[in-house]
A = this chain, B = another copy of it.
Amino acid sequence: MDNPLGWREIKTEIARRINSREWPPGFLMPAETSLAVEFGCARATVNRAVRELADAGLVVRKRRAGTRVVENPIRKAQFRIPVIRSEVEQQGKLYTHRLLQRTVARPPAGVRALFRLSERGTALQLAALHLADDVPYAFESRWINLVTTPEARNVDFSLVSANEWLVKHAPYSGGSYTISAQAADDAAVDALNCKVGDPLVVVDRNTYDTDLCGITQVQLRYAVGHQLLGKM
């Protein structure tokens, strides 16, 4: 060993051995202590490197059993869900939004379950349009839980978009989403200025607080041709 190796270099070197099949799928890697000797560093440094590889899904670690190169690498793709304003402004465009609808109503069963509401419970329903340089960008249909987030009742969502307000004012712990393709219906046609039947990227998103009680449920229908970008 010439230089003191950092965890990044060790991680890269191990990743190289895995990619080059020097350590093929299923291979049982040397223990941390052995690697520490090989690389001439402390065990903690190796640990950091291998832990990152485990986070990335390249290896699986088990106490006593050791670290194995994964058989079927399940790649974890990441993509960022920014506030739409940032997304638009990063393209160098002017972001605006329009509140189309705001009512307090009884939500459908799915949302009711998510919010843990009784059959007669109500929630805040919003519809809004996000625009980039005055061109429709995404059409938002949202329910907000007034039990977990009562302050939302008095917010003027024509001034602040619900997304931005919630991000700054609602507690947050996690969420789930689904991406699908749907044909534009009449509401979408009006809002997004497209034709009936046009294929739209649709993102449905649920957000939970720390008790896993639903805070908000939102459906975003993006304008025709929109692409979600990601990395692996």
Contact = CB atoms under 8 A, between A and B. Distances in A.
A16 interface: yes
Interface string A63-95: 000000000111111111111001000000000
A181 B201 contact: yes
A199 interface: yes
A180 interface: yes
A20 interface: yes
Chain A, interface size category, equals 35 or more
A118 interface: no
A226 B20 contact: no
B19 A167 contact: no
Contacts of A101: none
A19 B210 contact: yes
B80 A76 contact: yes
B76 A173 contact: no
A228 interface: yes
B82 A177 contact: no
Given A16-B210, A199-B182, A231 B175 contact: yes
Number of copies of this chain that the complex holds: 2
A49 interface: no
B177 A77 contact: yes
Interface string A169-180: 101111111111
A164 to B, nearest CB: 8
Contact of A81 (B25, B75, B226): B75
Nearest to A172: B19
B74 A76 contact: no
Given A19-B173, A172-B19, A199-B199, A227 B81 contact: no
16 contacts: A19-B172, A21-B169, A25-B168, A74-B82, A75-B82, A76-B81, A78-B78, A174-B231, A180-B226, A180-B228, A181-B199, A181-B200, A181-B202, A181-B226, A183-B197, A183-B198
Interface of A: 16, 19-21, 25, 72-83, 86, 167-169, 171-183, 197-202, 207, 210, 225-232
